[in-house]
Chains A and B, each alone.
Chain A
């Protein structure tokens, strides 16, 4: 069910948000839009399938730890 809703969301976004930008020949926005979809769809979809994806926050914590030499 969760995956169906995610796919429907992205289909909706592509048809009602991305296509109008392509029609307007708004190239920079179109490229940014496609990149955002390519970035976000796999992450959201894999997360919904309970894949253990690396968190950006753990990367931030690691950097701060290594700078301040915390445990």
Chain B
């Protein structure tokens, strides 16, 4: 039986995917107190990309990116593009897993070897990806509401730590710097939604991809905006820029009288849930890619070997969190072919070939 995500499940999956690691690591802070402006700009800059992704799905209903490249470019180029997208999904999954391994190692389980944390996180993600879209959809609906409640409650509880002066002076950085920062925010996390093209066959045929992508972008963007503003006002600029996990640090300041302290434990759990969801999507996407390359009937058969590749790469990809932060300077350049060039090629070829098909 064909598995499908409902419109709401697809939207919320997109939101959780967006929040994924960006809720832990925070968005780009190159323009410090102006980063909220950069975030708003990034949402608008992402719009053409998102519309392009949705348009590709509209032009090829019921098909995913791997089917589409096969139809448009033939077997050879189709396989090359499939390999590239599968590699991107593996690398993104690796980065997500490693960031969460570091996050848990640094904040919670100080003496536990990070590889064991990685194994446990991956076990959950593998199970989620193997359970099929029905379970994934149910998981998304349930976790989204829990996470929204956690995030909103920490936002309200940290109001007394806010220092409104932290967001001033507004536009201290020039428009050029803010635009550069917003382009980095587009690459991480907004344009990472390109991976949803690879699982577009899980969307219901009648559901509008525009609705899925645009509402996902605006809900995810709004939550990230609120978190970012909270972090700036709660931490102050020096700590906001320097902290590796700004949301976690901000949650540590929350104190309601003498009876509600150390809220960061709850926050950690909600962050891990978003991380697992993003990891499951990366795993699902990479497995779909390998399935097409190997001409295997069921993508579920290749999920475990794919997860082993992700686990091994996450062990060697960074030595520590400093190296991870250093890579964020390169990530937006690295992601251009996968987030812009390949989808653009697919879109142009789809538009060119569409009238011929109709004729």
Chain A residues engaging chain B, CB cutoff 8 angstroms: 2, 5-6, 9, 13, 17, 21, 26, 28-29, 32-33, 35-37, 39-41, 43-44, 47-48, 53-57, 60-61, 64, 68
Residue from A37, A47, A48, A68 in contact with B333 in the complex, judged by beta carbons closer than 8 Å? A68
Tell me the minimal C-beta distance from A23 to chain B in angstroms.
13
Residues of chain B at interface, number, CB under 8 A: 30
A10 to B193, CA, bound (A): 32
In the complex formed, the residue of A with least CB distance to B98 is A57
Question: Main SS of the interface on chain B?
Answer: helix
Chain B residues engaging chain A, CB cutoff 8 angstroms: 91, 113, 115-116, 119, 290, 294-296, 301-302, 304-306, 308-309, 311-313, 315-319, 323, 326-327, 330, 333-334
Do B316 and A43 touch across chains, with their CB atoms under 8 A apart?
yes
In the complex formed, the residue of B with least CB distance to A37 is B308
In the complex formed, the residue of B with least CB distance to A28 is B294
Residue from A33, A48, A53 in contact with B304 in the complex, judged by beta carbons closer than 8 Å? A33
Chain B residues closer than 8 Å to A41, beta-carbon distance: 312
A55 to B320, CA, bound (A): 12
Interface centre among B91, B312, B326 (most CB of A within 10 A): B312
Do A29 and B302 touch across chains, with their CB atoms under 8 A apart?
yes
A21-B301, A40-B309 known; A64+B330 contact, CB < 8 A: yes
- Supply 13 A–B pairs (Cβ within 8 Å), ascending by A: A21-B301, A29-B294, A32-B294, A39-B312, A40-B312, A43-B312, A44-B311, A55-B316, A55-B318, A55-B323, A56-B91, A60-B330, A61-B330
Chain A residues closer than 8 Å to B326, beta-carbon distance: 61
A2 to B115, CA, bound (A): 8
Do B296 and A64 touch across chains, with their CB atoms under 8 A apart?
no
A39-B312, A43-B316, A53-B316 known; A26+B330 contact, CB < 8 A: no
Residue from B116, B295, B334 in contact with A5 in the complex, judged by beta carbons closer than 8 Å? B116
Tell me the minimal C-beta distance from A37 to chain B in angstroms.
6
Do A17 and B304 touch across chains, with their CB atoms under 8 A apart?
yes
A28-B296, A44-B115 known; A56+B316 contact, CB < 8 A: yes
Chain A residues closer than 8 Å to B334, beta-carbon distance: 60, 64
Do A5 and B294 touch across chains, with their CB atoms under 8 A apart?
no
A26-B301, A29-B302 known; A47+B308 contact, CB < 8 A: no
Do A36 and B306 touch across chains, with their CB atoms under 8 A apart?
yes
A44-B315, A56-B316, A57-B323 known; A13+B302 contact, CB < 8 A: no
Chain A residues closer than 8 Å to B313, beta-carbon distance: 43, 56
Chain A residues closer than 8 Å to B296, beta-carbon distance: 26, 28-29
Chain A residues closer than 8 Å to B306, beta-carbon distance: 36
Chain B residues closer than 8 Å to A48, beta-carbon distance: 113, 115, 315
Chain A residues closer than 8 Å to B304, beta-carbon distance: 13, 17, 33
Do A32 and B290 touch across chains, with their CB atoms under 8 A apart?
yes
Tell me the minimal C-beta distance from B323 to chain A in angstroms.
7
Do B316 and A54 touch across chains, with their CB atoms under 8 A apart?
yes
Chain A residues closer than 8 Å to B91, beta-carbon distance: 56
A33 to B326, CA, bound (A): 33
Chain B residues closer than 8 Å to A17, beta-carbon distance: 304
Given A33-B304, A55-B316, 9 more pairs with CB closer than 8 A: A26-B296, A26-B301, A29-B294, A29-B305, A32-B294, A37-B305, A41-B312, A44-B315, A55-B319
A55 to B330, CA, bound (A): 14
Chain B residues closer than 8 Å to A39, beta-carbon distance: 308-309, 312
Chain A residues closer than 8 Å to B119, beta-carbon distance: 5, 9
Tell me the minimal C-beta distance from A17 to chain B in angstroms.
5
Interface centre among A2, A33, A44 (most CB of B within 10 A): A44
